[in-house]
Structure 1
Amino acid sequence: MSEVGSRKWEVGRAQPASHEPLRRHLFQHPASHIPHRRQAFTLVELLVSITIISILAALLLGAAAVAAETARDARTKALVARLHTLLMERYDGYRNRRVELNASWAANANPVVTGIDFTALDPSYREAAARLVGLRELMKLEMPDRWSDIVGSAVPVSPGEIATSPAGAFLQRTPTLYSVYARAYNAIVPNRTAPATAYINTQTNLPNTRDDIVENESAECLYLIIMNATGDGETRGLFKDSDIDDTDGDGAPEFVDGWGNPIAFLRWAPGFDTDVQLSVASLRRTEQKIGANAVGEAILADHDPFDIFQLDRTNARGWRLQPLIISAGSDEEYGIRFDGDGVTEYIPRLDPYDDVGSGNYLGEATDDPTDLAIDLDSELYADNIHNHNVGALSRKR
């Protein structure tokens, strides 16, 4: 084919149509259809986010609260255990303490005061019984659990100074520790001679009243005992500053638990129902289930180790007692009895098993079987932390 003819054929042949404009048309969106990035959350999204954050915050706060409560509980148990170890070393030492009786002890051998009927004893055992009562008097003076143990009677309405070395009822002389405690009491009373100014309560900015002085008296007495009668003078170094406070501002410090409340103390708590010792309640249950003879057998099986001749055994008494050191726990309520009836609040006697009025006993739960709030009272009692239930301390000694 000639060159001219070839060109004609190429010119006349149909050229393929270009599809590029069509592709651009098919894959391009109008401006109104192009999605735009949103500048903020919707209300629903905000509410969902806030809800999630609130739930997480509540969980964190709850976990923190539980951790803090656990820490307070652990700290309190450790402190109670430390106090128990120091106190029981002193308490067990009374098994070997020498007791010197005064010449006129027989004049004070009143069963109302001592709980022992001396006239019913064989004459050869009466002096042994007097020694037992004298030992209990020594315990009361060296391990007081209320100021009236030091005063010798109920704390008066207008407290004043007391003698630092009075005569004993059965003891030939009062112990040296008594003088230390008496001076501590004289330092906080409103009627003082040296200095002749009343102690001013740091909370009320007024002189201490009787109510101020007795408010936390058992905890204040525990502090005096631990600091002065245990640890050979090195006791203070065993405690942190956070373990000690004066919560009522009366000038007498107390050991405080993890919740900042005083740790209370009862030297003898016959009403405290526990696995560590017999109690009025447990003996009543024994009598109801088995009989009166079983009560006597239970007492003889766990008799007071200080009563080596088992002279104190009549009228369902004479069982071993362990001092009670107790924190109110997380509800900050003890739920047990510390005082007797009336304003005298248990005039101290030399009878560990005596009731404190109306058939009530120190250490017993304050709930009444006829009380509609019995469940609440039981709860107040149930969360207490004490040396009868802290780990190995719960075992019988």
Structure 2
Amino acid sequence: MKRSSTRAARSSKRPGFTLLELLVVIGLILFMMTVLVMTIGNAIGSAKENATRATLLKIDGLLQQRIDAFYTNLEQAAKRGEIAADAEGRTRIGKSFASYLSNNALIDLPSNLRPMLVRKYRFRLAFPQTGDSSGTLEADSPGLVLPGKAFAGNLPDKYESSEYLYYMLVQSDFFGVPPVDDGEFSSTEVGDLDNDGRPEFLDAWGNPLRFYRWSTRIIRPRGLSFAPDQTVTQLLVGGVPASPTASGDTSPLTLDPDDQLSAFGRMQLSRNNDPAQIAADFERAFHTLQSYHCPLVISAGRDGKLGLLEPYDRSGTYGYLGQPEANVPGTPAYVLMLDRVSDNITTRNVKTR
């Protein structure tokens, strides 16, 4: 009996886990759970990034088809003498063009530069991003049929440019390029978040894509008087050439694809009247002078923060040209803007990342 009692006493003294050991085990479990959650979160984030890239590549291909068709039509129109007639105000588009120039204080232009601006004006009409550029004009040229009535009363908001883009690609015959079938895009790529009956393209996070027809303020956020911003351009456009090192060399980012010789920019800026005002008038009517530009479709990325002003913004802050939220390098606001745009996915950087 005494021997049995001794064994029981020894058994009751067998050591258990100390408080420190329990805390260590709990800490390890929490660490492993944190790593697991982060891994799953990153995997989901990567999957959404890949899905958004796929959507943007699809949109880019369809948009490029329509851009090519537009320029083919434009060259045919030039051969028929329509561009010259537009420039002289002898056509329906020409009369609208003349009125547009007058409204933007650009009426006093040499006749040899008007055809170039007619081309820009037609491009502006053919690729609307806001209601101000669509109007209700029914063009003389086949294919240039604008969604004026379809978008009557549409509100200027973050959904608008994406709604116009959807209309161009899915709901309209564009210079002989037929609309794509609705089934080309899944239910996660298209929605109507603002419930206005006009679908818009979405990224994989469920946010509307934005469409910028001329993205010159991404290239030159501080306008004509300052050099292009290589950092912002590289993030959103990609494939940016290095700044010229030799004196007298011209940066490709300062060349307008429609005016490679900068004839308009040099002519306007050398005139006796206020060159800054001329540059501002041109930017209000079209885009930043002496700047590279390309149509750009943008997803705000994983954080949902665009870092740019909205495409509908024509309040004098150049949102319609892709103006970043801050444009002075080295300032806290600029650093914050870079953080916001760093995860943006575009139809241009998707090809270089």
Query: TM-score with structure 2 length normalisation?
Result: 0.68
Q: Tell me: CA distance 1:77–1:283, structure 2 relative to 1, closer, same or farther (3 Å).
A: farther
Larger Rg: 1
CA distance in 2, matches of 1:300, 1:336: 19
Task: Kindly indicate whether the alpha-carbon contact (under 8 Å) linking 2:306 and 2:341 is maintained by their aligned counterparts in 1.
Answer: yes
Q: Tell me: CA distance 1:114–1:91, structure 2 relative to 1, closer, same or farther (3 Å).
A: farther
Q: Tell me: CA distance 1:241–1:39, structure 2 relative to 1, closer, same or farther (3 Å).
A: farther
- The aligned residue for residue 65 of structure 2 is 89
Question: RMSD of the alignment, in Å?
Answer: 4.1
- The aligned residue for residue 264 of structure 2 is 312
- The aligned residue for residue 148 of structure 1 is 132
Task: Kindly indicate whether the alpha-carbon contact (under 8 Å) linking 2:301 and 2:344 is maintained by their aligned counterparts in 1.
Answer: yes
- The aligned residue for residue 185 of structure 1 is 151
Task: Kindly indicate whether the alpha-carbon contact (under 8 Å) linking 1:325 and 1:387 is maintained by their aligned counterparts in 2.
Answer: yes
SS of alignment partner, residue 326 of structure 1: strand
Displacement of 1:326 after TM fit?
Answer: 0.4
Q: What one-letter code is carried by the residue in structure 2 that aligns with 1:135?
A: R
- The aligned residue for residue 188 of structure 2 is 242
CA distance in 1, matches of 2:69, 2:340: 34
SS of alignment partner, residue 108 of structure 1: helix
2:341 to 356, 381, 384: 381
Identity score, percent: 21
Task: Kindly indicate whether the alpha-carbon contact (under 8 Å) linking 1:265 and 1:326 is maintained by their aligned counterparts in 2.
Answer: yes
Displacement of 1:263 after TM fit?
Answer: 0.7
Task: For 1:211-230, list aligned pairs within 5 A.
Answer: 212-227=155-170, 228-229=172-173
- String of CA shifts for 1:150-185, please: whole Å, max 9, x gaps: 23xxxxxxxxxxxx5x46xxx64695531xx22421
Displacement of 1:383 after TM fit?
Answer: 1.8
Q: What one-letter code is carried by the residue in structure 1 that aligns with 2:306?
A: Y
1:333 to 289, 296, 305: 305
Query: TM-score with structure 1 length normalisation?
Result: 0.62
Gaps in structure 1 of 5+ consecutive residues? 1-27, 152-163, 190-209, 347-355
CA distance in 1, matches of 2:303, 2:123: 32
Task: Kindly indicate whether the alpha-carbon contact (under 8 Å) linking 2:254 and 2:292 is maintained by their aligned counterparts in 1.
Answer: no
CA distance in 2, matches of 1:137, 1:319: 17
Task: For 1:268-287, list aligned pairs within 5 A.
Answer: 268-273=214-219, 284-285=226-227
Task: For 1:98-113, list aligned pairs within 5 A.
Answer: 98-99=76-77, 100=82, 101=86, 103=90, 105=94, 108=98, 111=101
Displacement of 1:226 after TM fit?
Answer: 1.7
Displacement of 1:308 after TM fit?
Answer: 8.5
Displacement of 1:379 after TM fit?
Answer: 0.8
Task: Kindly indicate whether the alpha-carbon contact (under 8 Å) linking 1:116 and 1:312 is maintained by their aligned counterparts in 2.
Answer: no
Deviates more, 1:136-145 or 1:231-240: 231-240
- String of CA shifts for 1:220-269, please: whole Å, max 9, x gaps: 11111221356633343321111111122222211111211111001111
Q: How many residues align?
A: 298
Task: Kindly indicate whether the alpha-carbon contact (under 8 Å) linking 1:76 and 1:258 is maintained by their aligned counterparts in 2.
Answer: yes
1:57 to 10, 30, 33: 33
Q: Tell me: CA distance 1:65–1:285, structure 2 relative to 1, closer, same or farther (3 Å).
A: same
SS of alignment partner, residue 148 of structure 1: helix
Task: Kindly indicate whether the alpha-carbon contact (under 8 Å) linking 2:57 and 2:347 is maintained by their aligned counterparts in 1.
Answer: yes
CA distance in 2, matches of 1:252, 1:41: 67
CA distance in 2, matches of 1:334, 1:242: 20
